Amino acid sequence: MLENVRKICLILPEDVEHIDGFGHTAFQINGKSFVKVTEKAGLSFKSDRETQEFLLQKEYVFKTPYIGHHGWVSIQKPHDGDWDELTELIQEANFTCCTEALG
């Protein structure tokens, strides 16, 4: 999973991989995380409220513990068929995080 996420996240030169204070692998742009890979939550990424609401209707998506109220969602174990949609959602998270950092 981490290798798939790395390929998606490190597209832009401003994107960096970071190990946070809890030992989670996080991907950041301009110092703000937009994706995390953790043992407990699996794959987590930031979304806007509308997208979060839509995604939470899927049985395999859940609100990320501790940061879900900020729009974060998680998927415990993404399946091979999920990666096309996840690529779009992660790229959207990157864009959202980037524009928030600038504005």
pTM for the model stands at: 0.89
pLDDT of residue 96: 78
Rg (CA), the chain: 12
Give tens-digit pLDDT for 25-51: 999 998 899 999 998 889 999 999 999
pLDDT of residue 67: 93
C-alpha span between 84 and 8 (Å, rounded):
10
Burial of 94 (0-12, 13-18, 19+ CB in 10 A): buried
What structural domains does the chain harbor? Answer: 2-102 (3.90.1150.30)
- C-beta separation of 72 from 46 below 8 A: yes
Give tens-digit pLDDT for 65-86: 999 999 999 998 887 678 899 9
SS3 annotation, 5-70: HHHHHCCCCCEEEEECCCCCEEEEECCEEEEEEECCCEEEEECCHHHHHHHCCCCCEEECCCCHHH
Dihedral over Cα of 22, 23, 28, 33: its sign: negative
